[in-house]
């Protein structure tokens, strides 16, 4: 390589810059390709870079460059979401964990409700509600009462052992006790 440069300068060359070459114009990142990428992504947001490249007929690198540099689309990662939320002052709602000592009674109910409805396609919300209500009515009253009694025991343990006082526990406790003692059927789900 050095010998070639030496010979070029020996023959009269004065510049170190490369001379312009005749190349084929780039067809992989023109306006037409960028527009096709954007259209396909908007039609199906879960399309992969490889699928886009095969569909349009350009390389995966060109599609990736079009997505990130020209269209400003980037993958969202779980580590960037908290930063975004903080930056834009979006309030975060923390979900209750599935703690066995504090699990509400509906943690018991929802898995049992999902199993008979799983794999069934419904035409409307009313159809879903009708099928769910039909299943809920078949639950024996004593099973529901047992669930609430177990929940009541968990609350009592929590308050007793950890001496925890939370607002609303007493009201909730009284409502549950009232429902159980009144021997009511839960028809108003």
The residues spanned by each domain of the chain are 27-92, 106-181
pLDDT at 96: 54
Residue percentage of the chain with pLDDT more than 70: 66
Helix (H, G, I), strand (E, B) or coil at 92: coil
Q: What whole-number distance in Å separates Cα of residue 121 and Cα of residue 90?
A: 35
Stretch 155-182: mean pLDDT = 60
pLDDT at 52: 92
Output the average pLDDT for the chain: 75
Query: Would you call 50 exposed, middle or buried from its count of C-beta atoms within 10 A (0-12, 13-18, 19+)?
Result: exposed
CATH number assigned to the domain covering 27-92: 1.10.10
pLDDT at 172 over 80: no
For 24-74, write each residue's pLDDT tens digit: 656 667 888 999 999 999 888 788 999 999 999 999 988 988 888 888 887
pLDDT bin (cut points 50, 70, 90) of residue 187 is very low
Stretch 144-164: mean pLDDT = 73
Q: What whole-number distance in Å separates Cα of residue 158 and Cα of residue 76?
A: 39
pLDDT bin (cut points 50, 70, 90) of residue 23 is low
pLDDT at 164: 47
* Cα separation values, 140 from 42, 149, 186, Å: 49, 15, 10
pLDDT at 160 over 70: no
For 106-127, write each residue's pLDDT tens digit: 567 777 788 888 888 888 889 9
Q: The whole model's pTM is what?
A: 0.34
pLDDT at 21: 67
pLDDT at 148: 79
**Lowest-pLDDT range, 3-17, 38-52, 76-90, 91-105?**
91-105
E strands within 56-148? none
pLDDT at 86 over 90: no
pLDDT at 181: 57
């Amino acid at each position: 390589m050095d010998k070639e440069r030496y010979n070029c300068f020996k023959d009269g060359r004065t510049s170190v810059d490369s001379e312009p070459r005749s190349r084929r114009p780039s067809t992989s990142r023109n306006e037409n390709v960028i527009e096709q990428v954007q259209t396909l992504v908007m039609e199906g947001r879960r399309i992969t870079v490889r699928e886009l490249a095969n569909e349009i007929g350009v390389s995966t690198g060109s599609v990736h460059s079009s997505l990130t540099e020209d269209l400003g689309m980037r993958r969202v990662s779980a580590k960037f979401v908290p930063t975004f939320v903080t930056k834009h002052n979006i309030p975060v709602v923390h979900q209750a964990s599935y703690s066995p000592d504090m699990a509400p009674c509906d943690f018991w109910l929802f898995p049992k409700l999902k199993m008979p409805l799983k794999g069934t396609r419904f035409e409307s919300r009313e159809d879903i509600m009708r099928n769910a209500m039909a299943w809920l009515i078949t639950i024996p009253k004593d099973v529901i009462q047992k669930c609430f009694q177990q929940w009541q025991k968990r609350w009592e343990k929590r308050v007793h052992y950890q001496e925890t006082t939370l607002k609303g526990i007493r009201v909730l406790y009284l409502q549950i006790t009232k429902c159980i003692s009144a021997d009511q059927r839960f028809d108003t789900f």
